[in-house]
Amino acid sequence: MKDDGLVKEVPSKSGSFPDWYTAVVLKGELADYAPVRGCMVIRPYGYTLWECMQGLLDARLKATGHVNAYFPTLIPESLLNREAEHVEGFSPQVAWVTHGGAKELSERLALRPTSEAIINTMYARWVKSYRDLPVLVNQWCNIFRWEKATRLFLRTLEFLWQEGHTLHRSEEEAEEEALRILDIYVDFVENDLCVPVLAGLKPESEKFPGAVRTYTIEAMMPDGQALQSGTSHNLGQGFAEAFDIRYLDEDNTEKRPWGTSWGVTTRLIGALVMTHGDDRGLFLPPRVAPFQVAVVPVLFGKQDEAVLAKCREAVTALAGLRVKLDADTNQTAGWKYNQYEMLGVPVRVEIGPKDVQKEGAVLVPRDGSGKRFIRFADLAQEVNGLMDGVQRGMLAAARERVRAMTSEAGSFDEFRARLDAVPGFIRVAWCGSAQCEGQIIEETKTTPRVMVPAEQDRGDAPCIACGRPTGKRIYYARTY
């Protein structure tokens, strides 16, 4: 499939799903392989997609009082070692800088696998009074994790993300923050990216190293594997203790704040590709597509200037949208149609000599619902309405697919049968013991993804592993 970064054709999505995914990422001009094993180059089209996503999420975070900052990539080993559980969880994935030029460093520097250590070191300097709280800081940056197996966007040695790190006066405020961010993630991923998710609490075995509780959003991909798409952590006071963060409260006593951290990554681009792409290539939701509309002139040599003039009028009429006018005369209109379908542009506007004469244009939505001729005077209204419909349709189709891939099992035998018949999320009763969890993982090659909220439980049922009555329910799935 890989040929000097080029892909000759796109395999069928229903055939070899991994090959299809790689081909679409490469031919869709989202990313390419870097010379360093496990790293990728995000191409301009892919990075513009990330910027569109970033802008929508950043606006949500700022609307809730969060501000952006930036912290160093390099973290001294002594700082990383301050929180033992945190270090132990990340140790296998940490990349180290040992030399500066030809000189060996007196202390190793970690390329940040996450930034709790460096950020909490700074918070210890900045937070002195209750008036300094809450601290609501986010940063957009790169992260390094030394992964063994990698795949473009889904798992690479270096990736982009946002990570929020907050401090609060009480445990209740920290919990509210962690859940507020979880809700923001659900809103963003479902309504802007059209990727439906399950949201809730992670079991103890899956929580973030050093956290009290970890909340997650879990997406289900068309091949039946779950993709962890974002997490929000209530860190309790562990990091405040490790980094000696104290503040003087209103009652004139010293106290430690309560922390949270949370993040989503460029992995979401992989989720977009897998959720919406097809055998023709990418299919991007209008809200985040780098080009929402591609205007393609149909040129025959005669009346070309009139056609191009009308295309330029179309761009003006669609002001406020991200529009690409492709006036390149080196490629045919047919080639351009295929190219913009490969790039997943939500709506294509075609204008030829006959359309100019009729004072109209042809709209072609990427969702395959069929081309339509419209009056040019109605262009802006029709395109905006069509994009809204495409956005809603993408989410509805994805939700229906995930609904069909979500089932429930009352016994181990039923669990295995459903896993074979309908790979996806499988809801089961689970007693919560590590022994039963280990048995389920070992025998099914699934992992626990997200706990079912207590208010959705339907009373006690036998744990599928040991048979003991339990009120806990959890979703299991195979995962990336």
DSSP letters spanning 48-71? HHHHHHHHHHHHHHHHTT-EE---
The pLDDT value given to residue 230: 98
The pLDDT value given to residue 457: 64
* pLDDT-wise least confident of 46-55, 85-94, 257-266: 85-94
398 to 23, 182, 346: CA distances (angstroms)? 21, 20, 16
What CATH code would you report for 42-276? 3.30.930.10
Whole-number average pLDDT of the chain: 94
The pLDDT value given to residue 294: 98
Average pLDDT over residues 435-443: 94
The pLDDT value given to residue 209: 87
Average pLDDT over residues 320-327: 97
Tell me yes or no: is domain 293-401 CATH 3.30.420.130. no
109, amino acid identity: L
Give the model confidence (pLDDT) of 148-193 as tens digits: 899 999 999 999 999 999 999 999 999 999 999 999 999 999 999 9
- When pLDDT is cut at 50, 70 and 90, the band that residue 6 belongs to is very low
The pLDDT value given to residue 225: 96
DSSP per-residue string spanning 254-310: EE--EEEEEEEETHHHHHHHHHH-BTTB----TTT-S-SEEEEE---SSSHHHHHHH
Please tell me whether residue 212 adopts helix, strand or coil conformation. coil
Give the model confidence (pLDDT) of 384-424 as tens digits: 999 999 999 999 999 999 999 999 999 999 999 999 988 99
Average pLDDT over residues 456-461: 79
Please tell me whether residue 412 adopts helix, strand or coil conformation. helix
Q: Top-level CATH class of 406-479?
A: alpha beta
- When pLDDT is cut at 50, 70 and 90, the band that residue 92 belongs to is confident
CA angle, residues 150, 339, 161, in degrees to nearest 5? 35
Asked if pLDDT for residue 9 goes beyond 90, the answer is no
Average pLDDT over residues 318-343: 96
Asked if pLDDT for residue 442 goes beyond 80, the answer is yes
Give the model confidence (pLDDT) of 336-346 as tens digits: 999 999 999 99
405: number of Cβ within 10 Å: 19
Taken in order 430, 432, 433, 434, is the CA torsion positive or negative?
positive
- When pLDDT is cut at 50, 70 and 90, the band that residue 2 belongs to is very low
Please tell me whether residue 44 adopts helix, strand or coil conformation. helix
Average pLDDT over residues 110-129: 96
The pLDDT value given to residue 453: 84
Kindly compute the dihedral angle of the four CA atoms of residues 429, 432, 433, 438, in this order, to the nearest 10 degrees. 60
Question: Is there a common fold for 42-276 and 406-479?
Answer: no
Provide the whole-model pTM. 0.94
**Domain extents for the chain?**
42-276, 293-401, 406-479
The rounded distance, in Å, linking the Cα atoms of 436 and 443 is 11
Q: Which two tokens stand for residue 331?
A: 């490629």
The pLDDT value given to residue 8: 58
Give the model confidence (pLDDT) of 189-219 as tens digits: 999 999 999 999 999 999 998 899 999 999 9
The pLDDT value given to residue 455: 63
Average pLDDT over residues 363-384: 96
The pLDDT value given to residue 60: 98
Asked if pLDDT for residue 59 goes beyond 90, the answer is yes
Q: Would you give the DSSP letter of residue 204?
A: G
Q: Which two tokens stand for residue 358?
A: 């009729």
